[in-house]
Structure 1
Amino acid sequence: MDRIRAGDQLNTREHQPSRVAARFSDRPRLRMFYRVGIAVVGGLVLLAGILMIPYPGPGWLVVFAGLAILATEFAWAHRLLGHARARYDAWTDWLARQHWSVKLLVLAGTGAIVLVTLWLLGTVGWVAGWFGIRWTWLQSPFG
């Protein structure tokens, strides 16, 4: 039995393989390929979500989707999904209780991460070129 922590509650529930995986239970080789496929797809979705977290858009949604894909086959991912959801809810609850200046600081930090990434990728210099601005410090250090 797996223990899944969700918020302040502790739920005990057995991790069940998906219905699709249950059809492969009598064919171990096919089941292994299915699990590897779930691991690859879920891992790629999870990685994409992690990369998207600091940017405006669905970063956390994609992280949770990747964990949900992995959780269909792996008990550790099921536990991690419950933990991540609880931590995300705690963060958003904490941020909602903060003074507007703290919220503004978080927004500014997120904006700074986005701008630095765009600069590193060369987007800032590229867009500045549209307006005839050719300052060297706007160019990415990576060429």
Structure 2
Amino acid sequence: MSLEREIAGSDGSLLHRRMQRVRAFMGRHPLFLLLYRALVILLGFLCILAGIIMLVTPGPGWLFIFMGMSLWGTEFHWAHRLNLWARAKVLATWRSFEAARHRRNRRKTAQRWAKRSNHSHYCPSGCHYRISKPGR
């Protein structure tokens, strides 16, 4: 489950801590805060727009949409809540995909095992199960 580990580790990363310090500095200077908010809104909008374009053209569209929503999530509470909801849905989908893949692989292994004439041990390559025909 490396996806879950990566998501969990991103909240306390070095970049996240630096951005909190920059945000605290901006909070003490009204002009910088206004410029910062305008820049965040503009970059978030551009990321979301690029992501929407990349949905119909080659490129990582959903990644850019989530990046734009994450940027907006630093300024807008509704965007942060939407991002948390989307993260939960992505993780749930990922877990169900992994579980289905695991079930499919176990089913294939069981089918291969059932076809074997020698059931005393399992050999993935199948080299021990070749039956030589008489006369060869």
User: TM-score, structure 2 length as denominator?
Assistant: 0.48
Q: Is the radius of gyration larger for structure 1 or structure 2?
A: 2
User: TM-score, structure 1 length as denominator?
Assistant: 0.46
Relative to its length, the structure with more helix (as a share) is 2
Relative to its length, the structure with more strand (as a share) is 1
